[in-house]
């Protein structure tokens, strides 16, 4: 059975995208998800994204990390918007469904702006910070970030008893008043990724700026992102937008053995 796919990347966080509006992909077949994401035996990516129809939204995005686990993915959502535009499902604005609920997004000057969903209040954790921006993030302020042992320290925190479900771990260095550099160890990829959308959003909110209603510039190993947000009178985050590029890299076809694709009769 062959399935066509597209490869997208958003500041180096890369995804296999499948137009699954015919609902042929078996959502429970996690071994096929990991095979597709495998960088030696498959296409290779940080995650896999299915686009499906939805009665109340322009589309639904179903995201899997490379290990088959599921969560909200900010960069993946931005790539899903660009992909849905390419497929002609949407124009330049959309309202779509992800695992953490509905999101608005728009394509402006070739970048995708994503309105983030519910965000938890920052919690202090032994000198670090924890925020859930649709996926869980442990954040630590560091110096000389380029030399920081991201995988060693990131995996230690990710697998610590504090996080029975695991967490993503971000290391953040302040560049100036409104600019930070972020490196991320990602749960479900179990490695450092070149950028993490929900992670840089958490970093911007935790350490990004002293001036609310500002845009925080974020540098990552994979490229530049921005987060714009405002604070309401209770000092809660509101209108949090994640902004950045989402590029199509190539397209191809996947050879899937029969059991990887749900029978037509389902
Ligand atoms: N690995 C994350 C999901 C993907 C997050 C990241 N790729 C993003 O852009 O937000 C988790 O398991 O919570």
Ligand 1 pocket by C-beta < 6 Å: which residues? 13, 46, 65, 69, 71, 73-76, 135, 168, 186-189, 196-198
Which tokens sit at 208? 């990004």
Whether the ipTM is more than 0.90: the answer is yes
Of the candidates 8, 23, 20, 193, the one whose C-alpha atom is nearest the C-alpha of residue 82 is 8
Q: Which helix (H) or strand (E) holds 78?
A: helix 74-86
Please give the distance, rounded to the nearest whole angstrom, from the Cα atom of residue 265 to the centre of ligand 1. 33
Catalytic machinery residues: 73, 196
Q: Ligand 1, residues 112, 163, 166, 168: which to mutate, most atoms within 8 A of Cβ?
A: 168
Q: Which helix (H) or strand (E) holds 137?
A: strand 136-141
Which tokens sit at 172? 């953040």
Q: What are the structural domains of the chain? A: 2-110+247-265 (3.10.310.10), 123-244 (3.10.310.10)
- Taking only the tens place, the pLDDT of each residue in 31-55 is 999 999 999 999 999 999 999 999 9
State the pLDDT confidence band at 214, using cuts at 50, 70 and 90: confident
pTM over 0.90: yes
Q: Please report, in range form, the residues annotated as the binding site for substrate.
A: 13, 65, 74-75, 168, 186-187, 197-198
Ligand 1 atom closest to Cα of 133? 10
Q: Please report, in range form, the residues annotated as the binding site.
A: 13, 65, 74-75, 168, 186-187, 197-198
Query: What residue has token string 């402006």?
Result: 108
The proportion of the chain whose per-residue pLDDT surpasses 70, expressed as a percent, equals: 96
- Taking only the tens place, the pLDDT of each residue in 44-86 is 999 999 999 999 999 999 999 999 999 999 999 999 999 999 9
Ligand 1 atom closest to Cα of 167? 13
What is the model's pLDDT at position 266? 40
């Amino acid at each position: 059975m062959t399935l066509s796919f597209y490869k997208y990347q958003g500041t180096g966080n890369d995804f296999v995208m499948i137009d699954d509006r015919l609902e042929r992909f078996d959502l429970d077949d996690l071994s096929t998800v990991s095979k597709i994401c495998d960088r030696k035996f498959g296409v290779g990516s940080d995650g896999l994204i299915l686009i499906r129809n939805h009665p109340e939204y322009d589309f639904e995005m179903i995201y899997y990390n490379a290990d088959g686990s599921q969560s909200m993915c900010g960069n993946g959502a931005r790539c899903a918007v660009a992909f849905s535009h390419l497929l002609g499902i949407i124009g330049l604005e959309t309202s779509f469904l992800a695992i953490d609920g509905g999101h608005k997004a728009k394509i402006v000057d070739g970048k995708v702006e994503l309105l983030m969903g519910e965000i938890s209040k920052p919690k202090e954790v032994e000198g670090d910070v924890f925020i859930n921006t649709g996926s869980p993030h442990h954040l630590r302020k560091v110096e000389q970030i380029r030399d920081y042992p991201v995988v060693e320290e990131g995996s230690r925190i990710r697998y610590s008893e504090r996080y029975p479900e695991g967490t993503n771990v971000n290391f953040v260095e302040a560049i100036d008043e409104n600019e930070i550099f972020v490196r991320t160890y990602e749960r479900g990829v179990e490695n450092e990724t070149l950028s993490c959308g929900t992670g840089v959003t958490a970093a911007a909110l935790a350490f990004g700026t002293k001036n609310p209603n500002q845009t925080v510039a974020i540098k990552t190993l994979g490229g530049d992102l921005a987060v714009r947000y405002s604070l309401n009178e209770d000092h809660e985050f509101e209108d949090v937008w994640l902004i950045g590029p989402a590029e199509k890299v190539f397209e191809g076809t996947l050879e899937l053995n029969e059991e990887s694709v749900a029978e037509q009769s389902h």
